[in-house]
Structure 1
Amino acid sequence: MWAINSKWKRVDVIGKELGFKWGGDWTGFKDYPHLERTGGLSYLQMNAGKKPSLSLKFKVENVTVVAVPPKTEVASKVSKEPSKNKWDSTIISIQKTLNSRYKAGLVVDGRWGAKTKAAIVTVQKGAKGNLTWILQSALYLEGFNPGSFDSILGKGTESALSKFQKAKR
């Protein structure tokens, strides 16, 4: 657990001055070491390829300085598909959870192979645990807010999942 002291409060103030949102202000769960800048865009908009404006505006000795990012384009590495050929931390988390909770006997290699795919379980209403948290995170990153990230498949997660499934039909 993170101890919120004067140093973290200072990080909060500096981050907000630079245009960041601080995870300590989140209502669903507090993620104190998290700072993010989305340029006012949702994750769904960014995943669709929209580029945020990420210039920084701050003061140095009462002079306003505006720092603009370079104009070079960077190819997006965001993929809607689980990685198939490389080590992937999300897949590793899923494999570990399937092994510990469901005795799946998977090799924890971070690959979305046939054995991992076959071992996937259906997460049902009221389910609690890491797989539900992964589902909540995935829904949020796809632009469907599950409410709180509480690792419980409740009304918010169920509603977000239903909207996601309708959008993907």
Structure 2
Amino acid sequence: MRDRPAHRPALAGKAVFEGSGIRLETLPEGHLLHVMGSIDTKILAGYLSAADLAESSLRPAGFRQWFVVGDDKLAPARIAALSSILQGNAFVSDQSHGRVRIGLSGPLAAETLAKGTAVDLDPSVFPEGHSVVTLFGHVSLHLTRTGLERFELTVLRSYAEHLHEELEHLAAAA
């Protein structure tokens, strides 16, 4: 008898949506670690390298908070190793099970996002690598520009389907 149900991706069955000038896709449910502590980004990047997580993306998520994001799933031992390396400087909370990443790209990506958020998405104000915690309609999310015309939205798992459907609707109307 199983102790818990089998994992099912939050957006299982959602096909890639491609419209005129826009692409919406579900990104891999790899790892997403929330790191909180009194260190700076450069020092944290060094700790990630020491924990063999240098390939992960490091994204600001608030004052003295970051998300460590990657496409591969991490074994609990790797997360524990990072936590041990950071001991006394920062704490790690594995959010991989509770958050979903959605990719939005193309020439109309920023215009589509502007329909739901008040963030100024002009590349001179919100350049590649920049992240912000914001609202899209009534849904809180973490927004990152990953390329000139590419964004990644990280949302709580329970809102992922709603956000994806809202983005599909807006992209289809673009």
TM-score under structure 2 length normalisation: 0.22
Bigger helix share: 1
Q: Which has the higher contact order (CA 8 A, sep 6+)?
A: 2
